Structure 1
Amino acid sequence: MKCVVEGGGEYFVQIRTIYPTKIYSNSKGDRRIVVEGRPGPAEKARLISLWEEFNGHSFKGVNIFVDGSCRGQVSSYAAVIIENGLVIGMISGCFRDGAGMRNVAGEIVAVEKAVEFCLKKSITAVKIHYDYEGLCGWAEEYWQAKTPRTIEYRKRMREISESLSIKWVKVKAHSGNSYNEMADKLAKKALQECKMV
């Protein structure tokens, strides 16, 4: 292990493994991990799981992290599904957004695809981690659903809640939450690889 301390209390730790890994921290206590090389999805997910555990984040039960992205009329979605700290599913894709909802459309689809995944696996309770307030607001009916798509989403989430207990957890976008960042990158990758763009 190599440790380099820079001025102002900021530092990084480099760990030599099959995939060189650097842990960055600053005086505010913010930390992030950077894995070099090209670990496969399983190896990367395991490293992130260890990182979250190291940071004191214990994800008991089933946790879903969602995000969306857009370019022009095309939106993408991504969901990372964790069970007891291990990734059990990663879902992503793209579609043409006729409603003009941009990345919000992708985030809605991410929630819908993730809960469908959980229902197929007979999962009965989840925590959905989201950064766009409308996802919870429309589902829990404290935001007014005004467009056909948000009305449809609210109705679908109401139906799903009869079979699946959902707890909503707000996360700050781009704040270093590893699984949220993973969902963000998956959504962006889905958009880059999308044949509709």
Structure 2
Amino acid sequence: MKSMYEHIIRLHVKKIADLLLKFQFTCNIDEQSWQEYSVKLMFLEKNEQIGHARLYYAPSKKSFRIDARYIHNEDILGLIGTSTPKSASEKIKKHSETYSNHIGLSAYVDGSYIKGKIGFGCVILLDNDKVFEDKGTVSNPEYQDSRQVAGELTAVGKVIQWCITHNHTSIAIYYDYAGIEAWVIGTWRAKQPLTQRYAAFVKNSGITVHWKKVAAHTGNYWNEYVDDLAKKGTQ
């Protein structure tokens, strides 16, 4: 065995390779490059090498990261990276806008207010695979005046609690309501008991959150998914 984490790493590489293959790219492992926590990946287009990267696995966080400094093909960067270069092809941009590409742990959250009821929805992804989702009603009478905002913040709380329970120390959280991040980082002042408790909980949780703002109702698959969960939570 080249690494005690070889099986986990190979499974992750397969996910990357399967995604790239949809766009006529090939991703192979350099079998001579194995180290305990990493391996070198070779990228090809029409059987010609067009770049390489090193994939790292962090067992304590159960997460991956890619050092892509030697990849200069903008389409590949758009598919495996956390952002899509402006010069990437329209096909790649459309894919990234619709589905996003999640290396490591990430979550989407949303809230809803329908006919006097507050709902929340959240989903957690590990390398694009759904590992957890939740939805429900926010019934605390103190929070009713906050409407869907209470649902948004409850969803974040569910995500943070899941991370704590499953021994994860960091996560990217995608949201469409600005206060979700602003109350935590202090650009908005938390004046109400709900927002004060929320900000304190997230900041004191021990979880490092990478905040990712997305536009609402623009076709992003997972953002629409949690929007639907939050609406169902009001039922």
TM-score by length of 1: 0.67
Q: What amino acid is the match of 1:144?
A: R
- Equivalent of 1:113 in 144, 152, 158: 158
Quick check: 1:80 aligned with 2:120? no
Q: What amino acid is the match of 2:146?
A: M
- Equivalent of 2:169 in 124, 127, 141: 124
Superposed CA deviations along residues 35-86 of structure 1, whole A, max 9, x for unmatched, are xxxxxxxxxxxxxxxxx99814320111110000112442110101001010
Q: What amino acid is the match of 1:174?
A: H
Larger RCO: 1 or 2 (CA < 8 Å, sep 6+)? 1
Please report how far the alpha carbon of residue 97 of structure 1 lies from its aligned counterpart in structure 2 after TM superposition.
Answer: 4.8
Q: Which runs of 5+ in 2 are unaligned?
A: 1-91
Residues 84-163 of structure 1: matches in 2 within 5 Å?
84-98=127-141, 99=143, 100-160=145-205, 163=206
State whether residues 106 and 125 of structure 2, in contact with CA within 8 Å, keep that contact through their aligned partners in structure 1. Answer: yes
- Equivalent of 1:58 in 95, 101, 107: 101
Q: How far, CA to CA, are the matches of 2:214 and 2:161 in structure 1?
A: 22
Percent identity of paired positions between Structure 1 and Structure 2: 32
Where 1:55 maps in the other structure, the secondary structure is helix
Q: How far, CA to CA, are the matches of 1:54 and 1:88 in structure 2?
A: 25
Q: How far, CA to CA, are the matches of 1:86 and 1:190 in structure 2?
A: 22
Q: What amino acid is the match of 1:59?
A: H
Q: How far, CA to CA, are the matches of 1:97 and 1:138 in structure 2?
A: 20
Quick check: 1:189 aligned with 2:229? no
**C-alpha root-mean-square deviation of aligned residues, in Å?**
1.8
Quick check: 1:174 aligned with 2:217? yes
Distance 1:63 1:165, change over 3 A: same
Residues 21-36 of structure 1: matches in 2 within 5 Å?
none
TM-score by length of 2: 0.56
Superposed CA deviations along residues 14-48 of structure 1, whole A, max 9, x for unmatched, are xxxxxxxxxxxxxxxxxxxxxxxxxxxxxxxxxxx
Q: How far, CA to CA, are the matches of 2:115 and 2:140 in structure 1?
A: 9
Q: How far, CA to CA, are the matches of 1:53 and 1:117 in structure 2?
A: 31
State whether residues 59 and 82 of structure 1, in contact with CA within 8 Å, keep that contact through their aligned partners in structure 2. Answer: yes
Distance 1:62 1:97, change over 3 A: same
Q: Which runs of 5+ in 1 are unaligned?
A: 1-51, 193-197
Please report how far the alpha carbon of residue 164 of structure 1 lies from its aligned counterpart in structure 2 after TM superposition.
Answer: 1.2
